[in-house]
Structure 1
Amino acid sequence: MSKSVKIMNLAVGLPKKVTYSEGKEMDSAICKEEIEEVFLTVDGFRGDGVADLKHHGGRDRAVCIYPYEHYALWEQEFDVKLPPATFGENLTVTNMLEEDVCIGDVYQCGDAVIQVTQARVPCSTITNRTGFPRLMKRMVQEGFTGYLCRVLQEGTVRKDSEITLLKRHPAQISVMYTNETYFRRPQDVDAMRKILEVEELAEEWRISLEKRLEK
């Protein structure tokens, strides 16, 4: 990954009531606010949180990243201008696509150090926020889900901070490969075993894949 990575947006937000289609309400932290600087702890960015603790948050999922390049595709496909951090991500970045980023990769992010742990599994909150029922399905089809990270070293992250690859995981199991296995080849035993060999994989994904193998 030789191209320089640029943070296009840095955002945090706490859970609040969000109104969506026809006056319905949900508790969610998907509507994050742009900020210039924030401290990143092992539990996530200060001032950031999740509403659904079962499916979001935790130290394996402290940071959510989404590739900026996908915005152009979705805006063209759905004929809309998407707001910053549409997908509830903390970091919207260039040159860190799912096909190029691997589980276990370690990055310097400002003063902090983060490690990729899993692909993000899109949920209905994205559908509710955008009002596009097909978007979640399309994210899964393309594998353009974004991904999550744990924090190895706490520190301040700024909107103009650099992100640099410190260590490429030797197994080189890309986020895209895990997405294709998880969503499209749920019975591919060899692929699941290959993914499970990566010790740095998020615990939730490990449990899920092990359950599939047992079946």
Structure 2
Amino acid sequence: MKITSINVGLPQTIQYQGKELTTGIYKTPVSSSLFVSKVQIEGDGQADLNFHGGVDKAICAYPEEHYVYWEKLRGHELEAGTFGENLTIRGLQEHDICIGDTFAIDEVIVQVSQPRQPCHKLAKRMDWPEAALHVQETGYTGYYFRVLKEGYIAPDSEMRLIARDEKAVTVAFANQIKYHDRFNLEAVKRVAGIEALSDSWKQSFQKRLAELEA
């Protein structure tokens, strides 16, 4: 596991197809140490706090390995942070990491809270209307961390696993049940029962569970 880039950016207003759009998806790699609070990394921000940011989504992470796939598909190189992630990480893909897994990044302690849900702003960031749907269908979504202990991180910070969640539900599995195997009752129960799952995903899965059991 290795952090290959730390990326931050404050919301900005852009013109897209003749309309103004305020978004925080534009992230730029940094070379300095930054403070990580319970809700975000220093120098970072989100435009729509109803769907982005907050305690459960303090840090967005994306596997570096996926960039090869997207660059081949799009036909050009992509800079770290293209997917709006704060941390570009090598060696920790969706099938490697479980919701509730806890990691130390130097003095900062983080916990996986949910898969990342791509939105329409990613499509506009990449100028590719199908971007969000394609990310969802491939399962190359990335994931969010909540911050359990604040502190400083740097681009060369070490990252190590502290504890595995006892439910052992990978981000890849949660994505599969969320988007594809929607009516698998036992699997929906399994995801809904993860204590560390973010409030928004827990509510979504509990609602689906109630519908399946009705």
- Alignment TM-score, normalising by the size of structure 1: 0.94
- For residues 158-169 of structure 1, the aligned pairs below 5 Å read 158-169=154-165
Amino acid at match of 1:47: G
Q: Aligned partners of 1:191 and 1:71: how far apart in 2?
A: 30
Q: Aligned partners of 1:71 and 1:101: how far apart in 2?
A: 18
Q: Aligned partners of 1:50 and 1:185: how far apart in 2?
A: 31
Give the secondary structure class of the aligned counterpart of 1:107: strand
Q: Aligned partners of 2:18 and 2:29: how far apart in 1?
A: 25
- For residues 96-115 of structure 1, the aligned pairs below 5 Å read 96-115=92-111
Instruction: Tell me the equivalent position of 1:63.
Output: 59
Q: Structure 1 residues 183-192 or 112-121, which shifts more?
A: 183-192
Amino acid at match of 2:144: L
From 12, 15, 30, give the equivalent of 1:35.
30
- Alignment TM-score, normalising by the size of structure 2: 0.95
The one-character-per-residue Cα deviations of 1:118-166 (angstroms, maximum 9, x if unpaired) are 0011101010110112222221111100000100110101000011111
Give % identity: 37
- For residues 186-197 of structure 1, the aligned pairs below 5 Å read 186-197=182-193
Q: How many matched pairs?
A: 210
Q: Aligned partners of 2:77 and 2:14: how far apart in 1?
A: 19
From 122, 125, 132, give the equivalent of 2:128.
132
- For residues 193-208 of structure 1, the aligned pairs below 5 Å read 193-208=189-204
Instruction: Tell me the equivalent position of 1:54.
Output: 50
Amino acid at match of 2:76: V
Unmatched 5+ residue regions in structure 2?
none
Q: Aligned partners of 2:18 and 2:28: how far apart in 1?
A: 22
Deviation at 1:15, TM superposition (A): 0.9
The one-character-per-residue Cα deviations of 1:172-205 (angstroms, maximum 9, x if unpaired) are 1000000000011222221111012210100000
From 86, 91, 96, give the equivalent of 1:95.
91
Instruction: Tell me the equivalent position of 1:24.
Output: 19
From 205, 209, 212, give the equivalent of 1:213.
209
From 71, 74, 79, give the equivalent of 1:78.
74
From 164, 171, 178, give the equivalent of 2:167.
171
